Amino acid sequence: MTDEKKEEKQPIIVVKKKVSHGGHHGGAWKVAYADFVTAMMAFFLVMWLVAQSPKVKEAVGGYFRDPVGFTEKAGKGMLDGGTSPVKSFKFDKAELEKKLQDEKQKLCNMGEKITEAINESADMAKLKEFVEIEMIDEGLRIQLIDASASGDSSIFFDQGSSELKPKTIELLATIAKELGQLPNHVVIEGHTDAKPMNRNNYTNWELSADRANSARRLMESVGLKSEQILEIRGNADTYPRFPSDPDDPRNRRVAIIVLNEAYEDKFKEVELGAEHAEKLE
């Protein structure tokens, strides 16, 4: 038999190799992904909580200290049909009105004290016709009017300047010493008439803000606490006392608004979720 015939009868052997991929890893990746999502949710919850007011933080903390007891005291949440760990607020109309009236009376008394203090000084008594003290919804407003009905102007500031005159310093110091005895927040506003400034890149906006800041610096240095200052506003000629005559020099003024604490509290509670609370008529 020839060699060629032997090769034809030789059986063919096929070798199959089993390729291993390290075994099936199961659902481990799902666990890792779930941990990642949970961590991200916790991160955003922490970021949300950091941005909340102290009352909300206190409420959330109270829930985690005593979930059962806190939930029993909590009302319905801000979403219909749900509950919230943050305690809901509801105004007692009678109680709120009493707080507002008591605070209003306190500020009225302060206004009278400031008027008496002005009258006690011969120099300041000459300025009383330029000082307007009145109650508004937000609280007590004291306005220094920089002109008179007879046409006299530049009573408290030189025209176009934010520098305080000596008599203005004395008047503001008297006001600051009285207001510094209160816990109330204060807003200081600057106003001008509609006549344009004759200086490049310096307008009534800058002048009104500078005058309000000049008043703030002086008042803080003689008795008003820095934490009482809530806002400084430069309003230019946007809120004239005499809308029919925006050029009237009596539109130029600095207003000091002592905020009614009860009025402030009402809006703080609304911010915390008392959307359905009764409002004052």
Give yes or no: residues 42 and 62 share one domain. yes
Give yes or no: residues 135 and 251 share one domain. yes
Average the pLDDT over each of 134-138, 165-169, 275-279 and give the range with the smallest value: 275-279
Range of the domain at 83: 23-88
- Per residue in 37-56, pLDDT tens? 899 998 888 888 888 877 77
Residue that is last in its domain, among 38, 62, 88: 88
Task: Say whether pLDDT at 2 is over 60.
Answer: no
C-alpha pair distances (Å), 181 with each of 82, 131, 173, 185, 188: 45, 21, 13, 11, 17
Question: How many domains does the chain fold into?
Answer: 2
CB 244 within 8 Å of CB 200? no
Give yes or no: residues 128 and 115 share one domain. yes
Q: 50 is written with which tokens?
A: 């950091």
- Per residue in 84-105, pLDDT tens? 444 444 556 777 778 888 888 9
Give yes or no: residues 54 and 118 share one domain. no
Q: What is the pTM of this model?
A: 0.62
The CATH number of residue 245's host domain is 3.30.1330.60
Give yes or no: residues 130 and 27 share one domain. no
Give yes or no: residues 76 and 171 share one domain. no
Give yes or no: residues 32 and 58 share one domain. yes
Give yes or no: residues 76 and 100 share one domain. no
